[in-house]
Amino acid sequence: MIIRFAVVQNFQVVNIAVAEQDFGLQQGWVPCPNPVCAGWSLIENEWIAPVIDLTPEPLIQPEPTLEDLLAQVNDLQSKIIQLSTK
C-alpha cells in the first residue's frame, strides 16, 4: 500500500515522501496526514504546524540626501531663532 510519510530530523519535518508502507517504515520515515509538510514538527507523536509571523517587515527609509539634511538644518535654525526671540 502506498502512503504518505514525513522525513523527520531533530523533531522537524524536512521532507515528504510517498512510498510503499514497508519501505517507508524501513527508512525510518513517519506516516503523516495530508496537511503536514516541511517545516512542521513532530513532538510526542503530535504534528505541530509552524507559526507564521504575519507582522509586516518595517519599511527601510532611504538615506537622506544632502539637500534633505540642509533643509532640516535650516528648519531647525528657524525654530531656534523663533524660540530665542520670545
pLDDT level of residue 81 (50, 70, 90 thresholds): confident
pLDDT tens digits along 11-59: 999 999 999 999 999 999 999 999 999 999 999 999 999 998 888 888 8
DSSP letter string over 6-32? EEEETTEEEEEEEEEHHHHHHHT-EE-
| 41 vs 45: CA distance, rounded Å | 10
Residues sharing a CB contact under 8 Å with residue 59, sequence separation 6 or more, in sequence order: none
Query: What pTM value is reported for the model?
Result: 0.61
Task: List the 41-43 sheet strands across, edge first.
Answer: 30-31, 2-9, 12-20, 41-43, 46-48
